[in-house]
Amino acid sequence: MNITDTRVRSILIAGALSLSSYSAQANSFYSFGDSLTDNGISVREFGAAIGNAPGRYPGADGKFTNGSTWAEVLPGLSGLSFSDTNGYAIGGAKSGYSGFDDALVGAPTGFLTQIEKFRSDVVSGKKFLGENDLVGIWIGTNDIFDDASLAALDTYVNNIEAGIRTLQALGAHNFVLIGSDDVSLLAGPSSAVDPGLEALSNAAKNFNQKLLALNISNVNIYVQAGGFTLSRLSWPR
């Protein structure tokens, strides 16, 4: 998806300010998700850009944007450390273990697969996750395109919760969750009321509400639910 560097920088300002009190104690930033967050992992891991829109996106650098991803911009605005290998997101990923581009990659690419890879990296000593590090997660858009039913939305949020709990067990305490944009706007223009597009729009709203309702003890969760204004969801006492 095409998110320009200029737009990313402008929409992240509010988020960076909202996190300023937290980021004074933060160290590293790690990111998980789909093409909206992918900072070129296919080039790093497989030696070539892999995606479902050859000739447009991803570009030669493996990114689905003509600039920097939000995961690359936010750390700089918030005083966090971020290297390319801190990005585990890959284009086409869904919230479970699979993604749309699994066949192209030759391996599962989903959010929970990314979490498992990160867990392996932490256990092996390749990565370190401290209590002051920040984890960014933006996943769910591809899931909604795949199945926008209410029952499916519960599964997507359960997958995200499972990923958070795995990271929590590894030592993570601080998370930024990005909700879904109105995915009906990404499906293409329509001059008439399309029930299918309306269903996608409603699914995105319901998904965001379910993210807002997440309640996990002993972690700090900031959530954005359509609009990129980060607000504190919970703060443990």
* 101 assigned to some structural domain: no
* 95 assigned to some structural domain: no
* 211 assigned to some structural domain: yes
* 187 assigned to some structural domain: yes
Cis? peptide before 58, omega within 30° of 0: yes
Residue spans of beta strands (DSSP E) within 11-152: 29-33, 134-138
Q: Which residue has the tokens 């998904």?
A: 207
* 13 assigned to some structural domain: yes
Q: Which domain holds residue 31?
A: 7-38+68-86+117-234
* 112 assigned to some structural domain: no
Give the per-residue pLDDT at 133. 92
Judge if pTM exceeds 0.85.
no
Q: What's the number of domains the chain is made of?
A: 1
Q: Could you tell me the CATH number of the domain that includes residue 176?
A: 3.40.50
Give the per-residue pLDDT at 159. 98
Give the per-residue pLDDT at 79. 82
For the chain, residues with pLDDT lower than 70 are 1-26, 51-57, 186-195, 225-237
CA distances from 135 to 61, 66, 125, 139 (A): 23, 24, 18, 13
pLDDT in tens, 46-71: 777 776 655 556 777 888 888 888 89
* 55 assigned to some structural domain: no
H or E, element range at 204: helix 195-212
User: Quick one: 31 exposed, middle or buried, by C-beta within 10 A (0-12, 13-18, 19+)?
Assistant: buried
* 44 assigned to some structural domain: no
Contacts (Cβ under 8 Å, ≥6 apart) of 236: 217, 218, 219, 220
Reference 28, options 204, 173, 182; nearest CA is 173
Give the per-residue pLDDT at 236. 29
In whole angstroms, what is the distance from residue 211 CA to residue 191 CA?
Answer: 31
